[in-house]
Amino acid sequence: MHFIIAGLSGTGKNLAELLVKEGSEVVVVDSDEAKCTEMATSSDVMVMAGDATQKSVLEAARVSGADALVALTNDDSDNLMICMTAREMGAKKVISLVNDPVHMETFKQAGIDFQVKPHAVVAKHICRMILQPYVKDSLSFERAEIFAIEIEEGMKCAARKVSEVRTPNGMKILVIERQGKYLSEDAEIESGDWVTLIVDRKSTKKGVEFMGKWFTKG
């Protein structure tokens, strides 16, 4: 797969390296030549110095047919321009960072596939670390969230059968895993097991109550 990242911020660098590790082809574009040189010499990511708002630069990055372009500059006007130009030139998907929430509606009206609100994402992550420390990973969708929880000694669900951990309407345990194998309903949950569950957005409150009941200690 071929991806283009416009903006060599910390987020852009980390995203590029993650995608390369997954076997994707990535081109990072940034107008700061010093940053580009530094990354080019310290990683396997392809880096181009240039202004990603310019069609010639996007063309050189092979935007036509790219699986996605991600705009991560600190300027919302540039991000919007980059995404609109990339889509016009044939990028299959355009994703953008939105630095100022005031601009969210503008990006929606422009039909940008997905808008990332960094401060909201960070705040939500920290809140979850404080209030739900048992959640080791999560994935948010428009209508639901998926949670990955590692069972620790002392949790209320430990030593219980899978069938005993009943979920309310609006959420479901997708799988309970132990060393690469999935547990049956008759199995007893142990420390070190991993639970993956999905919670409908409308059932968030019930989901929090359920997780607080079974995955806290004491």
Q: What is the DSSP string of 155-194?
A: BTTTTSBGGGSPPPTTEEEEEEEETTEEPPTTSBP-TT-E
Task: Check whether residue 143 and residue 75 sit in a common domain.
Answer: no
CATH number, domain at 19?
A: 3.40.50.720
Mean pLDDT value of segment 116-121: 66
At 144-181, the pLDDT tens digits run 999 999 999 999 999 999 999 989 999 999 999 999 89
pLDDT of residue 4: 96
Q: 146 and 78: one domain?
A: no
Query: Does residue 159 share a domain with residue 65?
Result: no
**Is 187 inside a domain boundary?**
yes
Task: Give a yes or no: residue 150 inside a domain.
Answer: yes
- pLDDT one-digit tens code per residue, 72-103: 998 999 999 999 999 999 999 999 888 888 88
Kindly tell me the burial class for residue 102, based on how many C-beta atoms sit within 10 Å of its own C-beta (0-12, 13-18, 19 or more). exposed
> What does R_g of the chain's alpha carbons equal in angstroms?
21
How many residues does the structure list for the chain?
218
Encoded tokens for 79: 């991000």
